A and B are shown apart, each in its own frame.
Chain A
Amino acid sequence: MNLPVKVVIQVESDRMKKAVAGVAAGVVGLAISAVGTAAPHAASAAEPVTFTVGIQNEVDSFNPFLGIEAESYEMWALMYDPLIKYSPEDMSPQPGLASDWKTSSDGLTWTFTIRDDVKWSDGKPLTSEDVAYTLNRILDGGPESATWGSYLKSINTITAPNPTTVVMKLSEPNAVLPLLPMPILPKHIWSDISEEEVKSYANEDNVVGSGPFRLVDGTAGGSIYRFEANKDYWDGAPNIDQVVFSLYKAEDPMVQALQIGDIDFAEGVSPLQLDAIEGTEGIKTVLGTSPGFDEIAFNTGSIDLDSGDLIGDPNPAVMDPEFRYALGFAIDRETIADKIYQGAGEPADTIIPPAYSTYHWSPPDDIAFSYDPERAGELLDAAGYTMGDDGSRTMPDGSPIGTLRLLARTDSQYDASLKTMTYFKEWLADIGIDSEVTAMESGKLTNVILDGEFDAFQWGWYVEPDPDSMLSYMTCGQLGSWSDSWYCNDEYDQLYNQQHSELDEATRAETVKRMQEILFRDSPYLVTIDNKYGEAYRCDRFEGFVPQPGSDGVLLFQYGVNSYLNIYPTTECGQSSDDAQSAGAATATTDDGISTATIIGVGVAVLAVVGGAGAVIAYRKSTADKRA
């Protein structure tokens, strides 16, 4: 396979004249070095089993107190353990470092029992001291609290009365507990790092952790991150020896790398690319549920927080809940999911995604949204927004509604934003409402939202396993801060406080559902779709992934590391763990004929040659004309 390469290049270089020969020699040198190293995936049985994941964004910090990128959270999860684990089904709490936990009847004391068989990678035992130390460091404020502080809301003290017990004292009940996602760090390492030093502490060399993998190579902002399995992991050793993350800054090359077997898993693949590689032998594609939604949000009344006066001139129509609710029937969510998101979205209606089944509320059929412009019209008529003579609807007082200002984001990763708003504009026109779409970069949009100079915009949220944070963004307390719809409803706020301190899950779920119903009726957000996330992997090399949430969930980048712990090397798609072991699990790649990408590539190359020839002919003709 490699021999013809050298020949081709040498024939080429023979043809070249002396002056270029030096350059050509360089190229040949590169090519030969290529030949020398071009066999990276002919693994023998003795070689470690390496699971290679293609990712599209850098780790911003290996220090859990600093990073914010999803990639960083994934690496911390490999290196450290959180206090509890999240179930694959619905991310409910499961025993982790804490094997058990109890709440006092008033909900003000939480007692966690810490496992006594966990060891740090330097051999020292992990005790309740480490847990209390890590959490107290966040509780004490400073840079550590910037990332994790809000999880410890209303916790007063965290103590470790004995090596297997952690006690938390609260000022008021906190229903978010025991879901504490922060990684537990070793006290004997981190107590040497001052609050000032932690601001720039990289945590990249000789990292001491308790997790199923250990960082052996990688720096923040780098391109390759290598992890080695912790064969003594307390929850069972992984079936693989290494996990390597390889950075691709563009999607096409990443998918191509998966096709030729340079990587085993591609993270974040667009539906178009998934379609293109669907059916390729040895590759499985997944469009997994990811707990998050996109929405069209309205300006429900932007005010100056000091004076309470309206700012930004929101259109009075969008400040009316009945008007907003009516527009819910003007949106064709199926079209949005199919045409705009190409399947990477599912029509949705509330801010707590169905993946969180305990807390999700589904609107009953008689009030649920469907694409029904006639019903939208009837509702608008009933609310007084009747059709004027010119075919445009008017305000109840007969004055024109005017043009609604719809805003969209232009950032390349959110190309669905502008498309959604463009469709929305047309749907509004269908029911007699005039609007215009302005697109801007998300940083600028944030400022415009805070200034209230909009009527509606498109954005989305990622929703954490506990609904508290998502619900809080819609409270009055978040005006001018994280609220982007300027929504404020006293009844809703009261329910929010109620659910925050409610410890009985069933009662809390009732309250949370009631809150979603209020939001649905008031419609500060018209939720359009729940997000789906594309992934693809070499099923002829690894199987055994554990999706989360539920069987439709994503395979990696979850809450927890279940997939990394459970995958096993295989030689055949769908092979069970036992079969894979008996087959010896030798991995070798085969080139699977001609792929779509190569056909496109060849087509394009032909085009280029034809184009070049065309240019030559055109040039000849023009020079011929000149000469003539």
Chain B
Amino acid sequence: MSAPTSTLVADAEIQPSRSERRGSGTWRYVGSKVLGSLGALLFVVVFNFFLFRVIPGDPVRTLARNRLVSDKQVEELTRTLGLEQPLPQQFLTYLKNTFTGEFGLSFRYRQPVGDIIIDRLWPTLLLVGTSTILAALIGVYLGMVSAWNRGKVVDNVSTGFSLTLYSMPEWWLGLVLLAVFAVGAGPIPSLFPTGGLHSTDIQDPNSFAAGLDTAWHLALPVITLTLAYLAEYSLIMRSSLLDEMGEDYITTARAKGLRDVYVRRRHATRNALLPTTTLVVLNLGFVVSGAITIETVFSIPGLGLLTTEAMDVPDYPVLQGAFLIFSAAVIFANLIANLAYSWLDPRVRT
């Protein structure tokens, strides 16, 4: 999944356009990026089909395991799942379905894959999306504070804190927070639920109370993920800000007699934000693929869990649908990152 990411990002650095007129250059740049993304997506569509048929496991056998099943029943199951057709035929059906927006029926749940994925998408978006944004905001702020106070107590505490959290396995951090804040420890009462998205006694899932209830359920997992993601942003922000602060133009700005705060905010921070922005946008592309371990620990029915469990069958239609969405999100995020970068940093375009 991460393979296409790196190559596409690398593209942003090279490919200088040698066009004479600036405007057409920009459009050519945008056009080539969009076309490249579409090509990558097309490749994923084809690749997906074969990838999951290569992994070990026979869905019919899994779905018929540990039961009294005759050969005739196995045949019947094979036919129900549409696996009796020759592979090229299955591939054509898959292509036709995919391009008409149909992903087929899940082998395990026998429901349309699109519906299942959408049901699982929003918990993942809420969980990982919120965490990514929170981590980015807090992380960037911590990184700035650290860089401005390099070597001071604030810097050491913030860096040590985020590195410690970064080196903890997410699921473990989750279990610890769960044990302390959901079960309660010593003077700390039980503050948060032990898992899930709703309380069992919520009747109307669309009511305001249900929304609050979900927020309450998501608090611990979001805190866990935010803490785990924090270091990524704070450390990058810190180091790029430090880099910028050593540049000549900062010395120049200082020499002009500008106030320190102004130099930091208008000159250094703006430039230092470039790598962080890329990171945030790219990570947003990975939001949909979920956080499998945290979804497991906190029993959140997200896309990550859906995909790992589909792997056990293997549930081809769900896997194809989910990976198409994961890939599309990453490719789209890359495209946005490329375009944003060229807009933020004109050097990339010319």
Contact = CB atoms under 8 A, between A and B. Distances in A.
The answer to whether A and B interact is yes
B179 A600 contact: yes
B69 A223 contact: no
A472 B70 CA distance: 10
B232 interface: no
B19 interface: no
- Interface size range of chain B in the complex: 35 or more
Nearest to B318: A221
B63 interface: yes
B127 interface: no
Given A31-B191, A33-B216, A604-B176, A619 B110 contact: no
B17 to A, nearest CB: 38
B176 A145 contact: no
B141 A461 contact: no
A286 to B, nearest CB: 21
A441 B110 CA distance: 25
Nearest to A201: B110
B69 to A, nearest CB: 6
Given A1-B189, A250-B299, A150 B179 contact: no
- Interface size range of chain A in the complex: 35 or more
Interface stretch (A353-361, A399-407, A551-559, A589-597): A589-597
B164 interface: yes
Interface in A49-71: 50, 52, 58, 60-61, 63, 66, 68
A597 B305 contact: no
B66 A40 contact: no
A89 interface: no
Given A446-B58, A616-B160, A260 B194 contact: yes
B111 A146 contact: no
A583 interface: no
A38 B138 contact: no
A214 B182 CA distance: 31
B307 to A, nearest CB: 13
Given A34-B219, A250-B296, A199 B164 contact: no
Contact of B213 (A1, A37, A151): A37
A202 B120 CA distance: 17
Given A19-B141, A37-B212, A248 B73 contact: no
B200 A202 contact: no
Interface in B294-317: 295-301, 305-306, 309, 312, 314
B69 A482 contact: yes
A444 interface: yes
A199 B212 contact: no
Given A149-B73, A253-B297, A619-B160, A34 B185 contact: no
B23 to A, nearest CB: 38
B215 A33 contact: yes
Contacts of B112: 200
A446 to B, nearest CB: 6
Interface stretch (B39-47, B151-159, B265-273): B151-159
A311 interface: no
Interface of A: 1-2, 5, 19-20, 23, 26-27, 29-31, 33-34, 36-38, 40, 50, 52, 58, 60-61, 63, 66, 68, 141-143, 145-147, 149-151, 153, 199-200, 202, 217, 219-224, 226, 244, 246-250, 252-254, 256-257, 259-260, 262, 411, 440-441, 443-444, 446-447, 461-462, 464, 468-469, 472, 481-482, 591, 594-595, 597-602, 604-605, 608, 611-613, 615-616, 618-620, 623, 627
11 contacts: A23-B138, A27-B223, A30-B218, A40-B201, A50-B200, A143-B76, A149-B70, A250-B297, A440-B56, A598-B186, A618-B160
Interface of B: 56-58, 61-64, 66-74, 76-77, 80, 105, 108-112, 116, 119-120, 134, 137-138, 141, 151, 156-157, 159-161, 163-164, 168, 175-176, 178-180, 182-186, 189-201, 203, 209, 212-213, 215-216, 218-219, 223, 295-301, 305-306, 309, 312, 314
Given A26-B134, A220-B110, 15 more contacts: A23-B137, A27-B223, A36-B216, A40-B201, A221-B306, A223-B301, A247-B301, A248-B196, A254-B194, A260-B194, A441-B56, A591-B190, A601-B180, A616-B156, A616-B160
